[in-house]
């Protein structure tokens, strides 16, 4: 084979931007190099200049990216014809392998403006190779996918490698090696394996079957606590694993941007995964919560439609010191991308509970573009009432910087209103609140009317307080206590990661299936049907009764496993039914669940709530965890002016004032408020006569008789010449917030 260095100018064109979908990413430039493009990597010279390296079907290009808007080719190394060409850098050298055979090509980058081809080495040891990896800590190269196993080279003499070991286990498609551990991708066995790389016999520490069973690549984070894998198959996922104990690999979550697409290579830097995703282009995923992976940014490099198979982004290099990302697109060439982060910033203070039925319930939000030159074009409130159909209401700019306002129409009391915000700009970007993987994943809610608590239990008492549990079939695993945070991966056709909570929502105790204490694994048992039931709760005085509780539920979709809630033996909720992972319930945090049980509970002196879990013989997850269980009545009435407050109509500077109250709820916390306004304000969801801003004059606890008094200190001199409005608030555990009549006091 003749090797040549060339600028390849006949193949080079600085391309005009394609019309591409972008989410928080800016394309700075693109080079079309001709032919089929494969892997991309990078190199930073000692003086800080940055270079991209990209394989094509007949060789390797070296590209100066010092000006990311105008990259240029500095050299080309011819190589065996192959559509598979991969490379890594070590010290000042680049090592290139290919399925076309011939060993590893060594290129000296002492002068990266004029790369020097050194030689091809190793053709006598292996024929073809698929990928190459370098352990930057030891200076060892791992040649993967050869016809001789995984070949390990010592690069201490960079131009004359030494073959020091061969791994002859299952075929290794790719690997990542650091800190004495090699993370192997066994594509044909569908496994991720960790081996001890300090021992050249490579003893196995642990293995894990990946969800798509076509494990293409691996990459561990710098602290060796997390590792990402990719399954290079239709519907393949990014899968994240907890590897803090390398002898016990645990899946934390998985992610896809399109269930029909194919992911290729992925790398972890900090709290983000950077991935080349074929026809989806470049995808960046936020893993700041390893149990809840979220899309952070993306850029579609490919002209092919999403889910179009093995076209589009092949490689991704996110390690440039500048923070730029290089992408190799099979058909489109070499991309230089800049991640700008979220394209739209949204801030909103959620609405409080209210007794106001007139509305509208004003929604204020600060919405700002984060992309230079972009303009916010639309902000919409999406809401539903009492779990009804979704409706939308537009927001409009207020004239203040980045401020938008809209409203939800008034609702008759009692009502439960849920809502979220969606914002868009003129570049096609969007963002939403509350955060989640998609708009509406998480919701805010508020009630219209008065919430009157009928029963509450946070399960912290020394006894079970009348709660009972048992089993219709199999073993009863319900228990009250502290959850241990166990997790695992259930499997019927593909694996689904699940985790139990590692703490209660409040306090320390919950009710749950298998708390995971001791040797217990936290999963519910196969072939079981278990139940947990509340004591009888008196709802004889309740109306529009709702069940509120915090849940952490992981369960396979019905009709395989069932999670159900009954009220007096009537089904009021069950988990979704369907085939495929979309239908499984896999909570990753405590969720608030609200169920309208008014048809069964209103006026009923004996209401029992029962949680059930029924499992078949396969695929067990974590089951129920329940905390802060409450039954409450949503009532249209209010506790307005139920307290009688009296006091002087005038008080001089230097004098004291005594206020008397009667008719207050007994032994409950109270506040005495004052204001200079009487235009009304809402506190704790309750409408008061006094207006904002409200100041607290005094606080205390009411007497057992609900009558008492409070005397102020001497009125200070700076209070003179004003009119003050005084009102009392009392919060009762069952009946909620009460207020008094308003007093008007002159201070001459």
Q: Which residues contact 519 (CB under 8 A, 6 or more apart)?
A: none
One domain, residues 287 and 163: yes
Q: What CATH number has the domain bearing residue 671? A: 2.60.40.730
Mean pLDDT on 195-201: 97
Bridge partners for 547 per DSSP: 595, 631
Question: In this predicted structure, what is the pLDDT of residue 745?
Answer: 95
114-143 burial, b if ≥16 CB within 10 A, otherwise e?
A: ebebbebbbeebbebbbbbbbbeebbbbbb
Question: In this predicted structure, what is the pLDDT of residue 640?
Answer: 78
One domain, residues 376 and 523: no
Strand-pair category, 344-347 with 325-329: unpaired
Question: In this predicted structure, what is the pLDDT of residue 441?
Answer: 63
One domain, residues 313 and 364: no
Is residue 450 included in any domain, yes or no? no
Question: In this predicted structure, what is the pLDDT of residue 18?
Answer: 37
Instruction: Categorize the per-residue pLDDT at 6 as very low, low, confident or very high, splitting at 50, 70 and 90.
Output: very low
Is residue 449 included in any domain, yes or no? no
Kindly tell me if the per-residue pLDDT of 35 is higher than 90.
no
Measured distance CA(206)–CA(220) in Å, rounded: 15
Is residue 545 included in any domain, yes or no? yes
Other CB atoms within 10 A of residue 309 CB? 13
pTM over 0.75: no
Q: What CATH number has the domain bearing residue 163? A: 2.130.10.10
One domain, residues 229 and 362: no
Higher pLDDT, 491 or 543: 543
Instruction: Categorize the per-residue pLDDT at 49 as very low, low, confident or very high, splitting at 50, 70 and 90.
Output: very high
Contact by Cβ (8 Å): 221, 243: no
Is residue 619 included in any domain, yes or no? yes
pLDDT tens-place string over residues 95-154: 999 999 889 999 999 999 999 999 999 999 998 999 999 999 999 999 999 999 999 999
Kindly tell me if the per-residue pLDDT of 684 is higher than 90.
no
598 three-state secondary structure: helix
Is residue 133 included in any domain, yes or no? yes
Of 595, 615, 635, the position where a domain reaches its end is 635
Compute CA distances 101 → 130, 134, 301, 332, whole Å.
Answer: 10, 19, 30, 25
DSSP code at position 716: P
Measured distance CA(252)–CA(620) in Å, rounded: 16
Question: In this predicted structure, what is the pLDDT of residue 436?
Answer: 53
Is residue 173 included in any domain, yes or no? yes
Of 606, 635, 664, the position where a domain reaches its end is 635
Residue 332 φ then ψ, to 5°: -100, -20
Using a pLDDT cut of 90, give the percent of the chain over it.
68
Question: In this predicted structure, what is the pLDDT of residue 634?
Answer: 81
DSSP 448-496: ESEEEEEEEE-S-SSS-TT-EEEEEES---EEEE-----EEEEESSSEE
One domain, residues 513 and 662: no
Is residue 17 included in any domain, yes or no? yes
One domain, residues 83 and 224: yes
Is residue 445 included in any domain, yes or no? no
pLDDT tens-place string over residues 68-83: 999 999 999 999 999 9
Other CB atoms within 10 A of residue 53 CB? 29
Contact by Cβ (8 Å): 510, 459: yes
Kindly tell me if the per-residue pLDDT of 672 is higher than 70.
yes
Q: What CATH number has the domain bearing residue 496? A: 2.60.120.200
Question: In this predicted structure, what is the pLDDT of residue 490?
Answer: 56
One domain, residues 326 and 459: no
Q: Which helix (H) or strand (E) holds 599?
A: helix 598-601
Measured distance CA(432)–CA(293) in Å, rounded: 16
Least confident among 432-436, 463-467, 473-477, 596-600:
432-436
Total domain count, the chain: 4
pLDDT tens-place string over residues 485-510: 888 765 443 446 678 998 999 999 99
One domain, residues 580 and 659: no
pLDDT tens-place string over residues 208-243: 999 989 999 999 999 999 999 999 987 789 999 999
One domain, residues 143 and 270: yes
Kindly tell me if the per-residue pLDDT of 298 is higher than 60.
yes
Q: Which range marks the domain in which residue 666 is found?
A: 644-747
One domain, residues 328 and 198: yes
One domain, residues 326 and 356: no
Measured distance CA(538)–CA(602) in Å, rounded: 10
Kindly tell me if the per-residue pLDDT of 481 is higher than 80.
yes
One domain, residues 188 and 313: yes
Of 585, 610, 635, the position where a domain reaches its end is 635
Compute CA distances 170 → 99, 145, 195, 210, 619, whole Å.
Answer: 18, 10, 12, 15, 27
Q: What CATH number has the domain bearing residue 413? A: 2.60.40
Mean pLDDT on 607-614: 98
Kindly tell me if the per-residue pLDDT of 697 is higher than 70.
yes
Question: In this predicted structure, what is the pLDDT of residue 64?
Answer: 98
């Amino acid at each position: 084979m003749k090797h040549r260095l060339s600028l390849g100018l006949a193949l080079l064109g600085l391309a005009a931007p394609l019309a591409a979908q972008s989410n928080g990413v800016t394309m700075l430039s693109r080079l079309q190099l001709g032919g089929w493009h494969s892997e991309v990597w990078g190199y930073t010279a000692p003086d800080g200049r940055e270079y991209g390296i990209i394989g094509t079907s007949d060789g390797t290009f070296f590209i100066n990216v010092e000006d990311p808007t105008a990259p240029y080719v500095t050299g080309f190394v011819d190589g065996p014809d192959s559509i598979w060409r991969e490379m890594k850098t070590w010290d000042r050298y680049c090592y290139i392998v290919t399925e076309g055979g011939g060993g590893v090509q060594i290129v000296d980058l002492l002068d990266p403006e004029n790369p020097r081809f050194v030689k091809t080495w190793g053709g006598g040891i292996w024929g073809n190779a698929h990928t190459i990896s370098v352990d930057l800590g030891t200076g060892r190269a791992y040649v993967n996918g050869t016809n001789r196993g995984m070949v390990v080279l010592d690069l201490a003499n960079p131009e004359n490698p030494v073959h020091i070991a061969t791994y002859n286990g299952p075929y290794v498609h790719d690997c990542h090696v650091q800190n004495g551990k090699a993370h192997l991708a066994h594509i044909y066995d569908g496994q991720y394996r960790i081996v001890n790389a300090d021992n050249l016999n490579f003893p196995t520490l642990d293995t894990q079957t990946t969800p798509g069973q076509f494990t293409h690549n691996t990459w561990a984070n710098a602290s060796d606590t997390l590792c990402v894998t990719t399954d290079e198959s239709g519907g393949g996922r990014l899968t994240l694993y907890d590897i803090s104990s390398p002898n016990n690999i645990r899946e934390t979550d998985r992610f896809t941007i399109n269930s029909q697409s194919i992911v290729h290579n992925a790398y972890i830097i900090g709290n983000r995964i950077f991935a080349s995703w074929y026809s989806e282009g470049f995808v960046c995923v936020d893993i700041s919560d390893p149990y809840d992976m979220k899309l952070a940014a993306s850029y579609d490099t490919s002209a092919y439609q999403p889910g179009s198979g093995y076209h589009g982004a092949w490689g991704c290099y996110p390690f440039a010191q500048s923070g730029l990302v290089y992408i190799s697109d099979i058909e489109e060439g070499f991309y230089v991308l800049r991640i700008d982060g979220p394209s739209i910033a949204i801030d909103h203070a959620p609405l409080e509970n209210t007794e106001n039925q007139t509305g509208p319930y004003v929604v204020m939000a600060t919405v700002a573009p984060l992309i230079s030159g972009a303009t916010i074009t639309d902000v919409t409130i999406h809401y539903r009432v009492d779990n009804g159909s979704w409706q939308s209401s537009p927001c409009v700019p207020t004239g203040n910087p980045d401020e938008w306002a809209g409203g939800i129409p008034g609702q008759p009391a009692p009502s439960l209103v849920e809502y979220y915000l969606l914002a868009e700009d003129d570049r096609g970007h969007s963002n939403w609140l509350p955060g989640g993987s998609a708009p509406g994943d998480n919701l805010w809610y508020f009630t219209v009317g008065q919430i009157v608590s009928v029963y509450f239990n946070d399960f912290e008492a020394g006894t079970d307080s009348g709660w009972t549990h048992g089993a219709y079939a199999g073993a009863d695993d319900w228990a009250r206590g502290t959850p241990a945070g166990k997790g695992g991966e259930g499997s019927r056709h593909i694996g689904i990661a699940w985790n139990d909570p590692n703490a209660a929502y409040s306090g320390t105790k919950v009710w749950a299936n298998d708390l995971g204490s001791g040797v217990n694994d936290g999963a519910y048992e196969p072939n079981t049907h278990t139940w947990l039931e509340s004591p009888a709760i008196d709802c004889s005085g309740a109306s529009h009764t709702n069940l509120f509780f915090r849940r952490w539920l992981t369960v396979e979709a019905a009709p395989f496993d069932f999670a159900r809630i009954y009220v007096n033996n009537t089904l009021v909720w069950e988990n979704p039914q369907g085939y495929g992972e979309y239908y499984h319930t896999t909570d990753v945090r405590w969720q608030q669940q609200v169920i309208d049980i008014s048809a069964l509970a209103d006026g009923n002196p004996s209401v029992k709530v029962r949680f059930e879990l029924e499992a078949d013989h396969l695929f067990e997850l974590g089951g129920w965890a329940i905390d802060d269980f409450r039954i409450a009545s949503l009532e249209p009435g209010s506790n307005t002016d139920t307290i009688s407050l009296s006091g002087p109509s005038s008080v001089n500077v230097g004098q004291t004032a005594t206020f008397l109250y009667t008719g207050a709820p007994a032994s409950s916390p109270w506040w005495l408020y004052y204001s200079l306004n009487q235009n009304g304000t809402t506190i704790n969801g309750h409408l008061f006569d006094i207006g904002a801003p409200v100041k607290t004059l005094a606080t205390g606890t009411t007497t057992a008789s609900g009558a008492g008094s409070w005397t102020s200190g001497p009125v200070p001199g700076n209070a003179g010449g004003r009119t003050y409005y005084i009102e009392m608030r009392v919060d009762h555990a069952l009946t909620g917030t009460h207020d008094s009549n308003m007093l008007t006091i002159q201070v001459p």
